Chains A and B, each alone.
Chain A
Amino acid sequence: MNGFFIIVSVFLLLNIALGLIRVWRGPTVADRLLTTQLFGTTGMAILLVLAGYSKDLTLLNVAITFNVLAILLVISLFQVWKKRREKANDDT
């Protein structure tokens, strides 16, 4: 069973590694933000699997911490874009 959990986590890690290609290729900023969403969701899944593997339920707290702060990042990025665009519009 433990070997199976390891295989699943390695598979999910490879998913993250594949997602990095999209960070490199872009082409827009939105595409790159998209991959952070991919990393976040996949990372959550890896944490859950590792929690079962090591039978350490405190890992769930790590997952929740990531979770509730992810939304902060997204909102702040959006606000930053918004402000930048307002600035650009003011200049034109």
Chain B
Amino acid sequence: MTIHELITVILLVVGCFFFLAGTLGVLRFPDLFSRLHALTKADNLGLGFIAAGMAVYIASPWAALKIFFIWLFTLLASSTSCYLIARFQKEQEQTKNGKEGE
């Protein structure tokens, strides 16, 4: 096993750990906002580790650039969707509370 492969294995294992943490958070956390928090942070970090591991393994600058962009786009997409989901939920809860209070 070369040093590249060793680095890849370590990075992938760390990435898998974060994915597991994210999934457990989604399943176990009590309300939507904490689930969002678990998922958006842990999974994207896990993806970052796996992306880094694969970039080291494939070892081509062009592929590494693409992998970096994949990670960047996923970060943008999931942070946007996190924001939109949270905002939607908050507005909905507010309107519900407002109606009940009337």
A and B touching (Cβ–Cβ under 8 A): yes
Task: Tell me which of A18, A30, A71, A78 contacts B32 (CB under 8 A).
Answer: A30
Q: Flag if B73 contacts A8 (CB, 8 Å).
A: no
What number of A-B contacts does a CB cutoff of 8 Å give? 130
A1 vs B88: C-alpha distance when bound (angstroms)? 44
B interface residue count range (under 10 / 10 to 19 / 20 to 34 / 35 or more): 35 or more
Q: Flag if A40 contacts B27 (CB, 8 Å).
A: no
Identify the A interface with B (CB < 8 A). Answer: 1, 4, 8, 11-12, 15, 18-19, 21-22, 28, 30-31, 33-35, 37-38, 40-42, 44-45, 48-49, 51-52, 55, 57, 60, 63-64, 67-68, 70-71, 74-75, 78, 81-82, 85
What are the 3 closest A-B residue pairs judged by CB atoms, nearest first? Answer: A74-B81, A67-B73, A41-B43
